[in-house]
Amino acid sequence: MKIRLRPTYLGAGSAVLLGAVLVVLAGQVSGVAKAQGAGDDVSASCDTAAIQAMAAADTTIVSAQRLETPVPHCRVEGYVTATNPGPNRDNFRLQLPARSLWKGRFYFVGLGGSAGYVPTESQIPSGNPMRAGFAVAGTDTGRQGPSGDYSFLSDPVKALDHTHRAAHLTTQAAQRITKAYYGVDKIWRYHSGCSGGGRMGGEAISHHPEDYDGVLLGQSRVGPKGTFGYSKFIQSIQEMNREPGAWLSPAKLKMVEAKVTQACDGADGAVDGVIWDHRLCRYDVAALKCKAAEGPECLTAPEIKSIKAILAGPHSPSGKLLVQPMPISNMSQWSMFLGATPPPWSPNPNRDIVKTTAAGYVLANTTAQGLFGPSYDILRDFHFTQADIDAWMAAEAKIGFHGEPDLTQAMKTGAKVLIWVGVSDPCCSDVQAEAYVRGLEGDMGRAKVASFIKLYAIPGMGHCGGGTGPWDAPDRLLYALIDWVEKGTPPTGVTMHRGADRAKFAFGDVNLPKESGVAIPPPAGPSRDFFVCPYPMVSVFDKTKAKIAGAVYEAANWSCKASRT
């Protein structure tokens, strides 16, 4: 029996399957044994030999077993052998929910950092997508190791697989098996990830746009060509080691954040404890200079120098800004990359050691070792000379690593791309992402770009979460993307939420154990709504409601407009 699903969806973000047409055919399904049973039966074809028969010649199925949690499903472990160049083993996992639970959708997990393991759950949005009826797959990108370690880039084969080939090969393998398992010709194919996971989505679009119908691309290196992304980490880490007292502690950054928020909160037209656009803030941290001895509510001269240098960003000898600097809003988010403890730091990317060091140092230093050799150290060997800048950019380009994505490739297949970035992300700049989209508009026209790309800047959010912004931004955007792909409804203003009593998560209980390897902290602040608009629109509060208690926290009192004037 062959089951051809024709999914129809009702309502924004709905995952309600209205019906299926059963087409009875003689013979076998996709060259494998006939599917047996119905309903929640996943055991008939959940067998290693049966799944292997559905796979291509380069795919090896290691195991297939029925599991009951988090929903009844068939869990498939396998790998694709990459060749030419190679060989290399690209491991993957595929989770196929029971037939009665599946909603015709496929979800590929984008992994943060350098990956290095096979995910069971989605990182961003968090949780297992099987809970929402997706078939779920993910890969280790062709290597096993700490997700903060990039030293493997010295191996051209592993570098290629990590950059885009492993995800492409395992995606193809997993989608082929998914179609055969359910006996369908068409599935809706989605990719979602943040940071390194967003990078994976951008690379998928650039190199293999045929792999997906929709990509939720979170906080990756999206920006104009020639952007030197790692220079931000190198500069900030060098500043932290510049002189005694230069390091910025989490406590000091949190103190400065409170002062900045108090001074700049209303610049966007709403006093709500959140800076929606950090470019409107003109606060000078020198106003916090200690008048006598150092204290918790003031800044020393070395601390002020460090903050000002980081806010200015890294420059070339000619004065060119190499990458957008860390934003002044939600400055406590800087600590993710500047460390919870002062230097000196270990460059070891081991997960337990990383907790006591600075992520910016580990990420930049292991990348440098992958590009220039195991003895390289960014504190000792990199200088902001044109020669060192050019050498780094050339080394990245040589292996195709961290090149700017070419999202225009999505037009070739009709895929949709939804970019999101935290306004307060110290890693991946909203200003930079906006400049990227503006550049495309200059080349193609705004209407053409808007037909396949939307950009959302999430107020208050740090790197992939945290801060003072919404908790469920990627979850709400995922369903906006689904409506765009499956119903042809372009996303506009999206209501997001902060607080456990309001948040609407895509995959159920966020308190479940995280097997994905990350645990993004929830944002701080009282429960509220955020009404977030896509570029070039901005979210504007109805000032006539300003005197009504709590009005600023309700989405109904916000709207999308071309400007705040």
DSSP letters for 45-56 = S-SHHHHHHHS-
Q: 259 CB contacts (<8 Å, ≥6 apart)?
A: 283, 287, 288
pLDDT grade, residue 223 (50/70/90)? confident
Task: Work out whether strand 188-194 and strand 214-218 pair parallel, antiparallel, or are unpaired.
Answer: parallel
| 416 and 476 co-located in one domain | yes
Claim to verify: residue 376 and residue 451 sit in the same structural domain: no
- The DSSP call for residue 26 is S
Q: Is the pLDDT of residue 511 over 80?
A: no
34 has pLDDT over 90: no
**Full domain range(s) for residue 301:** 231-399
Question: In this structure, are strands 134-139 and 528-532 parallel, antiparallel, or unpaired?
Answer: unpaired
Arithmetic mean of pLDDT, 500-510: 86
- Taking 50 as the threshold, does the pLDDT of residue 224 lie above it? yes
- Cis peptide before 374, with omega less than 30 degrees from 0? no
3-class DSSP state for residue 391?
A: helix
9 and 153 housed in the same domain: yes
* Residue where one domain finishes, among candidates 399, 419, 452: 399
For residues 299 and 313, membership in a common domain is answered with yes
Contacts of 292 (CB under 8 A, 6+ apart): none
Phi, psi of 258 (to 5 degrees): -60, -40
Under the banding of pLDDT at 50, 70 and 90, the label for residue 351 is confident
In 374-472, alpha helices (H): 378-381, 386-399, 430-444, 446-450
Name which of 246, 228, 245 is nearest 237 in CA terms: 246
When pLDDT is averaged across residues 415-424 and rounded to a whole number, the result is 98
Query: pLDDT digits over 513-551, tens only?
Result: 454 555 678 899 999 999 999 999 999 999 999 999 999
Give yes or no for a contact between 134 and 150, defined as CB atoms under 8 angstroms apart. Answer: no
pLDDT in tens, 255-308: 999 999 999 999 999 999 999 999 999 999 999 999 988 899 999 999 999 999
Handedness of CA 554, 558, 564, 565 (dihedral sign): negative
CA distance 82 to 143: 12
One-letter identity of residue 123 = Q
Greater model confidence, 29 or 369: 369
Please check the confidence at residue 367 and state whether its pLDDT lies above 70. Answer: yes
Nearest C-alpha neighbor of 173 from the set 84, 90, 85, 64: 90
Report residue 447: phi and psi, to 5°: -65, -40
> What are the structure tokens assigned to 156, written together?
């051209």
Flag whether pLDDT at 150 surpasses 70: yes
Q: Which two tokens stand for residue 179?
A: 């179609």
Do residue 49 and residue 98 come from a single domain? yes
In the chain, the N- to C-terminal Cα span, in Å, equals 61
Task: Please give the backbone phi and psi of residue 2, each rounded to the nearest 5 degrees, phi first.
Answer: -110, 130
Residue (of 472, 447, 469) closest to 458 by Cα position: 469
CB atoms within 10 A of CB 65: 14
Percent of the chain with pLDDT over 70: 90
Cα dist from 39 to 99, 107, 263, whole Å: 6, 22, 59
Does 166 share its domain with 264?
Answer: no
Give yes or no for a contact between 70 and 131, defined as CB atoms under 8 angstroms apart: yes
Q: Are residues 498 and 531 in the same domain?
A: yes
Q: Could you list the beta-strand ranges (E) of 141-226.
A: 188-194, 214-218
Q: For residue 353, which phi and psi values (nearest 5 degrees)? A: -75, -35
Confidence band, pLDDT 50/70/90 cuts, at residue 404: confident
Residue 328 DSSP symbol:
S
* Secondary structure letter of residue 500 according to DSSP: T
With contact defined as beta carbons under 8 Å apart, do 268 and 277 qualify? yes
Asked if residue 226 lies in contact with residue 205, where contact means CB atoms within 8 angstroms, the answer is: no
- Helix, strand or coil, per DSSP, at residue 174: helix
Q: Please state the rounded mean pLDDT for residues 402-422.
A: 94
Other CB atoms within a 10 A radius of the CB of residue 312 amount to: 12
What confidence score (pLDDT) does residue 219 get? 84
Closest CA to 51 of 64, 68, 39, 35: 64
Of 348, 381, 399, which marks where a domain is finished? 399
Q: Could you tell me if 255 and 139 lie in one domain?
A: no
Nearest one of 188, 185, 176 to 8, comparing CA atoms: 188
Q: With contact defined as beta carbons under 8 Å apart, do 22 and 3 qualify?
A: yes
Q: Are residues 166 and 272 in the same domain?
A: no
What's the residue count for the chain? Answer: 565
Last residue of a domain, one of 368, 399, 430: 399
User: Is the same domain home to 352 and 258?
Assistant: yes
The answer to whether 399 touches 438, Cβ cutoff 8 Å, is no
Q: Are residues 312 and 360 in the same domain?
A: yes
Confidence check: pLDDT of 40 > 70: no
- pTM flag (> 0.75): yes
Q: How many domains does the chain divide into?
A: 2
Which amino acid belongs to residue 34? K
pLDDT higher at 444 or 350 = 444
Task: Looking at the structure, tell me whether residues 387 and 452 fall in a common domain.
Answer: no
Mean pLDDT of 26-35: 32
